[in-house]
Amino acid sequence: MENQVKIQTEKKDKAKEEFNAKPTAAFIAASWASLLIGMVSFCVGLWNAAMEFNEKGYYFTVLLFGLFSVISVQKSVRDKLEGIPVTDIYYGVSWFVTIASMLLLVVGLWNATLDLSEKGFYGISFFLSLFAAIAVQKNTRDTKFLEQKDK
């Protein structure tokens, strides 16, 4: 047990030594802008779509599910990198629900009676939002990590 704690401490120290690059203000702003553009575009598209309310709810829920799941994946990957214990179950479930959210969107759009351009719009804005959520989470984590390192 004592040996395991020593290994984890060494991993944390190694991660702290290797990482010292703070995200630039431009990248942070671009990440937040991408997240807002992706989410707002997706939601405005849903608001103006000619589909049933329950169908709109399905797509909105898939968006929220996807955003939460990619943040969870990013957090667990980062925790592992920094030597913070992450259970294999949580790590696996995070990846599973991320893939599930993507599949739910694809299956929903595949079976939807929408124009191909609308399907593409929802797909692009969904994946832009997921990527941006990962970037925002990474920037937040990097900034916090460096602030704690400087103390």
pLDDT at 10: 63
| Span 73-117, pLDDT tens digits | 999 999 998 888 999 999 999 999 999 999 999 999 999 998 999
pLDDT at 102: 97
More confident residue, 12 or 57: 57
The answer on pLDDT for 59 being more than 80 is yes
Q: Is the pTM for the entire model greater than 0.75?
A: yes
The answer on pLDDT for 32 being more than 60 is yes
Q: What are phi and psi of 115, to 5 degrees?
A: -65, 155
Three-state SS string over 3-20 comes to HHHHHHHHHHHHHHHHCC
In this prediction, residue 8 has a pLDDT band, given cuts at 50, 70 and 90, of low
Asked if residue 101 lies in contact with residue 65, where contact means CB atoms within 8 angstroms, the answer is: yes
Q: Compute how many other C-beta atoms are within 10 angstroms of the C-beta atom of residue 85.
A: 9
In this prediction, residue 13 has a pLDDT band, given cuts at 50, 70 and 90, of low
More confident residue, 1 or 115: 115
SS3 content of the chain, % helix, strand, coil (to 5): 85, 0, 15
Q: Which among 43, 57, 47 is positioned nearest to 104, based on CA atoms?
A: 57
